[in-house]
């Protein structure tokens, strides 16, 4: 067994060289090659002590060979030339006997990308297991001294992705990411949050831990409130999950085929296009695909080589575009957009406390848990509050309440947005805290 004492992540030049070599060896009519390499590390802790500390190196080279409208992919996790050659031949053999793809489109031609470098933090790449353990030790010491049970994760990742094809497309991406999540629990009170950054130094680990410890104490001895519609203030972490569901469902094909809340139908109930350009949401809702946002600084391309450039998604509450795959864009005479992620929703300069202070009566939701579809066509979802739900009275947090299950059409939620706070990053999304005029709770749950 060999213990790696320094990072072994491929450089972009090394990954590009592997892509070039594979394309030259290909005997297919056309070929697409991707190289994905990463170094990730994870520390888990529970009951105020570390329970897991792991590092992982990953390398995958994938070959997709094309013969006419037939194609097949094969992958290898070995970096030696014999394994790569064998993978190329396997991909070609499978492609020759594959069925024709009825939605086949030609390989992507060379693209233009934004002239910028994604964020890549060397300290995050080089963070040692010992340094990660010391950070966790400080977190668990804070929890133990306060008399709460602390659990969570601290993770880092560095990656290099390169793609290329036989039409001359070449695209490179790299980046670093650090993520911290923490749950504090004491008796029947709990709290949770997470934060993400491109550098470990950007995470407010100790201040966030202290804030969550205090919230766990406040969440004890919850009272019961009747289910119904209430004004709600969403913590940014809770709102991030719900907004993501909406953006995932801004798919052009689903809308055009009548399977989405963005579908428009005629008098006979048949699909008649989509609702781009209609006033669907509150004018406060402004969402962009914004990979170069200061809190993100992500890559310039998607995994298929399409450009990941800035794009207005929702402006003044009006959807500006939908997500077009290359096939559906060709069918509809549109430009392909690729995914609408990473998403950034514009916030304000107000704090979450100021939103609460402006709320006469309502509910503060700290976490949206186990969100699932009820009706994909209307984008009605169900889920539960968790880890600190509070009643707001006269602009103040009055007392904790028992968790509630919600059944809510998310387009209606975004229509009723009437207040925003400052933004924070969660995963690859940047969102504010949000107040909505009405949110539907259907029952009480026993979750903590």
**pLDDT on residue 372:** 97
**What's the CA gap between 93 and 201, in Å, rounded?**
48
**pLDDT on residue 87:** 98
DSSP state of 109: P
In a 10 Å sphere around its CB, with 0-12 CB exposed, 13-18 middle and 19+ buried, how is residue 61 labelled?
Answer: buried
Question: Could you tell me which of 161, 427, 176 has the C-alpha nearest to residue 305?
Answer: 161
3-state secondary structure of 242: helix
Q: How do beta strands 389-393 and 396-400 pair?
A: antiparallel
**pLDDT on residue 7:** 55
CB atoms within 10 A of CB 279: 12
**What's the CA gap between 205 and 228, in Å, rounded?**
36
| Structure token pair of residue 115 | 């002239």
| 186, 149 Cβ separation under 8 angstroms | yes
**What's the CA gap between 84 and 331, in Å, rounded?**
36
**What's the CA gap between 192 and 301, in Å, rounded?**
33
**pLDDT on residue 266:** 87
3-state secondary structure of 368: strand
**Chain centroid, CA 160 distance in Å:** 18
**What's the CA gap between 268 and 259, in Å, rounded?**
15
| 352, 236 Cβ separation under 8 angstroms | yes
In a 10 Å sphere around its CB, with 0-12 CB exposed, 13-18 middle and 19+ buried, how is residue 360 labelled?
Answer: exposed
**pLDDT on residue 448:** 74
**What's the CA gap between 364 and 29, in Å, rounded?**
58
**What's the CA gap between 232 and 234, in Å, rounded?**
6
**What's the CA gap between 403 and 203, in Å, rounded?**
28
Domains along the sequence of the chain with CATH: 12-215 (3.30.2290.10), 228-250+277-320+340-444 (no CATH)
Question: Could you tell me which of 368, 391, 311, 370 has the C-alpha nearest to residue 343?
Answer: 311
Question: Could you tell me which of 393, 406, 444, 414 has the C-alpha nearest to residue 229?
Answer: 406
pLDDT (tens place) for every residue of the chain, 448 residues total: 344 445 579 999 999 999 999 999 999 999 999 999 999 999 999 999 999 999 999 999 999 999 999 999 999 999 999 999 999 999 999 999 999 999 999 999 999 999 999 999 999 999 999 999 999 999 999 999 999 999 999 999 999 999 999 999 999 999 999 999 999 999 999 999 999 999 999 999 999 999 999 999 999 999 999 999 999 999 999 999 999 999 999 999 999 999 999 999 888 888 888 999 999 999 999 999 999 999 999 999 999 999 999 999 999 999 999 999 999 999 999 999 999 999 999 999 999 999 999 999 999 999 999 999 999 999 999 999 999 999 999 999 999 999 999 999 999 999 999 999 999 999 999 999 999 999 999 999 987 7
End-to-end CA distance of the chain: 44
**What's the CA gap between 431 and 443, in Å, rounded?**
27
- Residues in Cβ contact with 85 at an 8 Å cutoff, skipping those fewer than 6 apart: 25
């Amino acid at each position: 067994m060999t213990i790696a004492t320094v990072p072994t992540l491929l450089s972009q030049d090394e990954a590009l060289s592997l892509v070039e070599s594979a394309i030259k060896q290909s005997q297919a009519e056309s070929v697409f090659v991707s190289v994905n390499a990463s170094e990730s590390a994870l520390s888990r802790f529970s009951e105020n002590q570390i329970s897991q500390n792991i590092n992982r190196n990953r390398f995958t080279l994938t070959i997709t060979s094309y013969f006419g409208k037939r194609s097949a992919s094969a992958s290898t996790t070995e970096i030696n030339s014999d394994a790569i050659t064998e993978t190329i031949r396997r991909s070609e053999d499978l492609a020759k006997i594959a069925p024709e793809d009825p939605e086949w489109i030609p390989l992507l031609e060379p693209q233009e990308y934004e002239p910028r470098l994604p964020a890549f933090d060397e300290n995050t790449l080089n963070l040692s297991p010992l340094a990660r353990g010391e950070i966790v030790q400080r977190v668990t010491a804070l929890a133990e001294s306060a008399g709460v049970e602390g659990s969570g994760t601290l993770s880092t990742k560095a990656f290099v992705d390169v793609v290329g094809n036989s039409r001359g497309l070449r695209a490179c991406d790299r980046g670093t990411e650090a993520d911290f999540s923490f749950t504090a629990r004491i008796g029947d009170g709990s709290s949770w949050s997470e934060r993400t950054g491109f550098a470990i130094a950007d995470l407010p680990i100790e201040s966030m831990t202290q804030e969550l410890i205090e919230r766990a104490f406040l969440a004890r001895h919850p009272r019961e409130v009747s289910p119904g519609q209430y004004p709600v203030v969403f913590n940014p972490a809770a709102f991030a999950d719900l907004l993501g569901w909406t953006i995932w469902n801004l798919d052009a094909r689903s809308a055009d085929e009548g399977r989405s809340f963005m579908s428009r139908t005629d008098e006979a109930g048949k699909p008649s296009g989509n609702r781009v350009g209609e006033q669907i949401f509150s004018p406060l809702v402004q969402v962009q695909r914004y990979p170069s946002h200061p809190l993100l600084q992500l890559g310039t391309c998607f995994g298929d080589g399409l450009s990941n450039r800035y794009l207005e998604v929702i402006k003044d509450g009006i959807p500006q575009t939908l997500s077009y795959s290359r096939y559906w864009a060709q069918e509809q005479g549109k430009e392909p957009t690729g995914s609408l992620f990473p998403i950034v929703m514009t916030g304000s300069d107000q704090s979450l406390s100021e939103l609460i202070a402006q709320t006469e009566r309502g509910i503060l939701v700290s976490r949206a848990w186990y969100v699932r579809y009820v009706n994909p066509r209307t984008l009605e979802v169900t889920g539960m509050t968790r880890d600190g739900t509070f009643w707001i009275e006269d602009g103040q947090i009055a007392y904790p309440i028992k968790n509630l299950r919600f059944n809510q059409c998310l387009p209606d939620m975004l229509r009723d947005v009437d207040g925003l706070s400052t933004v924070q990053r969660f995963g690859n999304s940047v969102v504010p805290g949000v107040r909505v005029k009405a949110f539907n709770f259907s029952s009480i749950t026993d979750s903590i």
